[in-house]
Amino acid sequence: MSELSAARQVRRPDSKSRLHLTAVIGVLTGIALLAVGAFLLSYARIHEMALFAGVSPSLAALYPLMFDVTLVIACVAALALRGARWWMRVYAALSIAILLAVVAVAEAVHSAGISLPYGPSAATFAVMPWALFLIGFTLGLLVLRYLRAMRAKARAARAVAATASVSKPSAATPSADQRVDRPRLRINDPNAVDAGVASAELTPAPPVGPSQHVGTPDVTSTPAVEHRHGQAHWHHHRAGDDHAGSS
């Protein structure tokens, strides 16, 4: 049962991610279809307005394309500047709103049959290409500036992480305080003459508590110490016998 529940929990995030991906694809497809429909419906009116303003027929066909390209640039910039500063996001949103408002008002006026003066119309269509270029160029600069700032932040974060990893001490290397000196048996005189047994000496060690006496070597029970005690006792006993015999 536990394995089945774990498998279900693993499948749930996958199904949710698939649903989210499907929803995003559907939304983007719908937006693309709406943009194509708006372009086709507005093309004829903008073209007629350009002809009315005195633009040649060959150049008048470019005005609807310029509007649509600028609107696409503004939409892409608004998506790219989601994490940017507030004034960048506001500028992208205002660009989209201004473009849509200009196209909508111009089409409404043209569809209502309201005749505009020739002079203002010609001036407006003469300035319009440069205004659209300015909007697209400034949006491109904002996107490039935001991307450069993001790359600089990423490089700084990597540098900080690398510095922290280098300066962090290794946990596998024990410190000087963690090293415990233990008593070691050291041979001081390997050429001892007493039956070829070397004298043993215990190196000094720090005092230990009662709970640390387990495993400490007993110096009094070593063979070399017992041999010296026995030999001293034999010399003392022989000296006593010699004194008694002389007396």
Domain-embedded: residue 15:
no
Query: What residues contact 95, with CB distance under 8 A and at least 6 apart?
Result: 74, 77, 135, 139
Query: What residues contact 135, with CB distance under 8 A and at least 6 apart?
Result: 70, 73, 74, 95, 98, 99
Residue 234: per-residue pLDDT: 55
Residue 30: per-residue pLDDT: 93
Q: How many residues does the chain have?
A: 247
Whether residue 110 sits in one domain with residue 45: yes
Domain-embedded: residue 175:
no
Residue type, 239: A
Cβ atoms of 202 and 183 closer than 8 Å = yes
| DSSP of 185-236 | EEES-TT--STTPPPEEEPP-----GGG-TT---GGGSHHHHHHHHHHHHHH
Q: Which range of residues forms the domain containing residue 190?
A: 185-246
CA 18 – CA 201 distance, rounded (Å):
77
CA 20 – CA 16 distance, rounded (Å):
6
User: Which pair of structure tokens corresponds to residue 212?
Assistant: 């640390």
All residue ranges of the chain with pLDDT < 50 are: 1, 171-172, 180, 182-183, 185-190, 192-203, 205, 208-222, 225, 243-244, 247
CA 80 – CA 75 distance, rounded (Å):
9
pTM, rounded to two decimals = 0.60
User: Which pair of structure tokens corresponds to residue 210?
Assistant: 């009662």
Cβ atoms of 246 and 212 closer than 8 Å = no
Residue 114: per-residue pLDDT: 85
Residue 18: per-residue pLDDT: 87
Whether residue 66 sits in one domain with residue 132: yes
Q: Domain tally for the chain?
A: 2
Whether residue 124 sits in one domain with residue 65: yes
- Give the 3-state secondary structure percentages of the chain, helix then strand then coil, rounded to 5: 75, 0, 25
Whether residue 223 sits in one domain with residue 109: no
Last residue of a domain, one of 110, 133, 163: 163
Query: For the segment 75-131, what is each residue's pLDDT rounded down to a tens digit?
Result: 999 999 999 999 999 999 999 999 999 999 988 988 888 888 889 899 999 999 999
